[in-house]
Amino acid sequence: MYIEANGRQIEAKPGEMVLDALNRAGVKVPTLCHMAGLFPSGACRMCVVEIEGMNGLVPSCAFPVQEGMKIKTHSPRAIRARKTIVELLLSDHPDDCLYCVRNKNCQLQDLSEELGVRQRRYTGAKSECNIDTSSPSIVRDPAKCILCGKCVRVCEEIQGVSAIDFAKRGSKAHIATAFDMGLNVSSCINCGQCIMVCPTGALRETSNIKEVMDAIHDPNKFVVVQHAPSISVTVGEEFGLKPGTDSVGIMTAALRRLGFDRVFDTSFSADLTIMEEAAELVHRIKNDGVLPMFTSCSPGWIKFVEQFYPEFIPNLSTCKSPQEMLGAIVKSYFAEREGFDPKQIFSVSIMPCTAKKFEAERPEMGRHGIADLDAVLTTRELARIIKMRGLDLNDMQPQPTDTPFGERSSAGKLFGVSGGVMEAAIRTAHYMITGDEMDEMQVKDLRGLNGIKESTIKVAGIELNVAAVSGLGNARQMLDDIRAGKKQIHFMEVMTCPGGCIAGGGQPVGARLDAIKARMKSLYEIDRDSLLVTSYNNKYIKKLYDEFLEKPLGHRSHELLHTHYAQRDVLM
């Protein structure tokens, strides 16, 4: 079917909304509350268009196409309406752009500039708001909130958490947790997906830049940094590189220039995680342990289980996440080897994730009063400190990672995408059970951006039902099905963020679906072209076991690499 947009015929699919047809044809209409794939809420009215034969302006995101309809997206009336909306929003908005984390990356700012807002037409008292800095992961600044409702929807409809909702009404309306309490005591699982959809600076990560910079400039500190598997394929976007570009070498160089004393790759400890986790799986299978086993590397998911599904706590793998494993190894094995007092070491990780900040603060993540990690930065914060130092990734010459954790398998690298941990674990579990390599390393069923992926793997006559789930709304569905006996699963990977870490809550804001696909493709290509695709063949991992850990699930591993969980009583 066809419709006409600005005098041009474009194709439309019956039942779809006008906005979708326009977007597909490359006609740009601004939106503030629209969320691809979710039911339109029609809250912001930015997307209004004129339709011939209709009196009022129509919100294109919530209006279905009709054969032959004639649309004007930028009629003077439509533009005037949009401009008025922006002017009204600005009338209760702090003019804080220069001080704002979203300066130059803000949809409200962009619209105000696009629509040529040049004067304060509406003035009035601005709402009084308190900034909520209670959470180790997320800062909420309601003064900059335009009440588009996207954070509420992502939290409820994608993550199945519902930590926040609209409260009060009229000029007092705001986004709130239950009883307007701090986010830290709410059911928030720190995923940061609300930050990713927020059009303004109302939501941001809790910044740890200052602690890191202070440590770098402290002559008594030895500062080590690790970067998560997904960072090398996303940070480049902040420097104008094509989405998916693997910038591991130039990022390593930039980290050294920033003054970090050692640069490690979390993909190395992802290999270590796989050794422990695969061994744990095999142990559970052979000894009638609790199944299904769930992966434990995504801290939002862990808190989700602890508060919403405590009966599944025994199903969580006891493995710490890769960042914590490397943190623990750095302050033990590495410190010993290099002759450092662990207290002298300041350990930083660069993560795609805001929940990792929360994880690093969990009291279980350390020994003898020394935390495994001292600070966690998001990809965005990394880009900020690189820019702050006047550096640019584009000017760097690639450099290698530091020893003794110098090499990683591409299995470890796959941790960055949903399904990757599962794939990596299967490769090693297969070897541990059979003593043989798998014929086909790639598990196609577990690849791609679907929220629930399932497969059956045959290992030495055993059929293992595995699943890779991302987005906690999907995890909720799986847990309910498992509880009801509708699904027989042996091993399930869960990533809190839809698509996995490549789309984590700490990644560059504003990435579109094609960018996320490019990041995923890049990780798959790294695996395809790699000479080392299995964790158990990583010689540095072998060496670490030979020299220090002895064997997976051994005494030292239990002390350093495994943890426990507990039910959390939060207001849900």
Partner 1 sequence: MNETIETILSKYPNAKRDALIPILQDVQEVEGHLSVEAVAHIGKYLNLPASKIYGVATFYNQFRFETLGKYHIQICRGTACHVKGSAKLLDAFKRELKIEAGRTTRDGMFSLEVVACIGACGLAPVISVNGEVHAGVVPDKVKSILKMYREKDANNE
Binding site for partner 1 (CB under 8 A): 156, 162-169, 176-180, 186-187, 571-572
**Total site size for ligand FES, rule CB under 6 A:** 13
Q: Which stretch binds ligand SF4 (CB under 6 A): 75-83, 186-194, 269-277, 522-530?
A: 186-194
Position 453 contacts ligand FES (CB under 6 A): no
Interface positions, 15-34, toward ligand FES (CB under 6 A) = 31-34
State the helix-helix crossing angle for 299-308 and 472-483, rounded to 10 degrees: 40
Piece of the chain touching ligand SF4 by CB under 6 A; list 1-9, 22-30, 92-100, 243-251: 92-100
How many whole angstroms separate alpha carbon 13 and alpha carbon 533?
43
Which listed residue (303, 356, 413, 453) is catalytic?
356
Give the nearest distance from C-beta 146 to partner 1 in angstroms. 18
Angle at the Cα of 191 (from 249 to 276), degrees rounded to 5?
Answer: 65
Q: How far is the CB of 33 from ligand SF4 (least distance, A)?
A: 8
- Residue 317 designated active-site: yes
For the chain, the straight-line distance linking the first and the last C-alpha, in angstroms and rounded, comes to 46
The 8-class DSSP code of residue 226 comes to: E
How many CB atoms are closer than 10 A to CB 485?
Answer: 7
Using CB under 6 A as the binding rule, whether residue 478 contacts ligand FES is answered as: no
* Closer of 232 and 474 to ligand SF4 (Cβ): 474
Considering the complex, what minimum distance in angstroms separates the CB of residue 287 from ligand FES? 54
Q: In whole angstroms, what is the distance from residue 359 CA to residue 365 CA? A: 8
Q: Does 89 bind ligand SF4 (CB under 6 A)?
A: no
Q: Indicate the helix (H) or strand (E) that contains 390.
A: none
Contact call for residue 198 and ligand SF4 (CB under 6 A): yes
Closest CA relative to residue 259, chosen from 324, 207, 304, 212: 212
Residue 301 near residue 472, CB atoms below 8 Å? yes
Residue 43 binds to ligand FES (criterion: CB under 6 A): yes
- Catalytic annotation, pick one of 364, 454, 487, 525: 364
Q: Say whether 179 sits in a helix, a strand or coil.
A: helix
Number of alpha carbons in the 13 Å side-chain half-sphere of residue 397:
0
Catalytic residue among 50, 277, 306, 423: 277
Q: Is 470 in the site for ligand SF4 (CB under 6 A)?
A: no
- Is residue 326 near ligand FES by the rule CB under 6 A? no
Q: Which of 135, 317, 522, 535 is catalytic?
A: 317
Binds 59: which of ligand FES, partner 1, ligand SF4, none (CB < 5-8 Å by kind): ligand FES
- Choose the binding region for ligand SF4 from 158-166, 233-241, 257-265, 530-538 (rule: CB under 6 A): 158-166
Q: Is 11 helix (H, G, I), strand (E, B) or coil?
A: strand
Q: Which of 564, 562, 563, 560 is nearest to 332 (CA)?
A: 560
In the complex, the smallest distance separating the C-beta of residue 165 from partner 1, rounded to whole angstroms, is 4
Query: CB burial class (10 A; 0-12, 13-18, 19+) of residue 8?
Result: exposed
* Using rule CB under 6 A, residue 203 touches ligand SF4: yes
The nearest distance, CB 108 to ligand FES, in angstroms, is: 13
Active site residue 277: yes
Indicate the length of the chain as a whole number.
572
Catalytic choice (276, 280, 306, 324)? 280
| 176 or 325: CB nearest partner 1 | 176
Binding of residue 348 to ligand SF4 (CB under 6 A) = no
| Structural contact between residues 496 and 294, judged by C-beta atoms closer than 8 angstroms | no
DSSP string, 109-144: HHHHHHTT--S-----PPPP---B--SSSEEE-GGG
Cβ contacts of 59-64, under 8 Å, gap ≥ 24: 60/17, 60/18, 60/19, 60/22, 60/29, 61/17, 61/18, 61/19, 61/31, 61/33, 61/34, 62/17, 63/17, 63/18, 64/15, 64/16, 64/17, 64/18
Q: How far is the CB of 571 from partner 1 (least distance, A)?
A: 5
Q: Which two tokens stand for residue 393?
A: 């990734």
Residue 61 CB, shortest distance to ligand FES, in Å, is 3
Query: Is position 376 an interface residue for ligand SF4 (rule: CB under 6 A)?
Result: no
Q: Are 1 and 67 contacting, i.e. CB atoms less than 8 angstroms apart?
A: yes
Question: What mask, x for binding ligand FES by CB under 6 A, covers residues 56 to 95?
Answer: ---x-xx---------------------------------
Min dist. Cβ of residue 21 to ligand SF4 (A): 25
Q: Which is nearer to partner 1, 90 or 155 (CB)?
A: 155
| Per CB under 6 A, 468 contacts ligand FES | no
Interior CA angle at 30 toward 58 and 520, to 5°? 125
The DSSP line for 329-369 is: HIIIIIHHHHT--GGGEEEEEEES-SHHHHHHH-TTSEETT
The reply to whether 364 belongs to the active site is yes
Question: For partner 1, which is the closer residue by CB, 168 or 444?
Answer: 168
Site map for ligand SF4, 118-157, x if CB under 6 A? --------------------x-----xxxxxxxx--xx--
Q: Where are the alpha helices (DSSP H) in 241-354?
A: 248-258, 266-286, 299-308, 322-329, 335-338
d(CA 384, CA 391) in angstroms, rounded, equals 10
Q: Are strands 370-371 and 58-59 parallel, antiparallel or unpaired?
A: unpaired
Say whether 356 is catalytic. yes
Among residues 31, 60, 73, 159, the one that binds ligand SF4 under rule CB under 6 A: 159
Give which of ligand SF4, partner 1, ligand FES, none residue 199 binds (C-beta under 5 to 8 Å, depending on kind): ligand SF4
Active site residues: 277, 280, 297, 317, 356, 359, 364, 501
Enumerate binding residues for ligand FES (CB under 6 A): 31-34, 42-47, 59, 61-62
Enumerate binding residues for ligand SF4 (CB under 6 A): 93-94, 96-97, 100, 102-103, 106, 108-109, 138, 144-151, 154-155, 159, 161, 163-164, 175, 188-194, 197-203
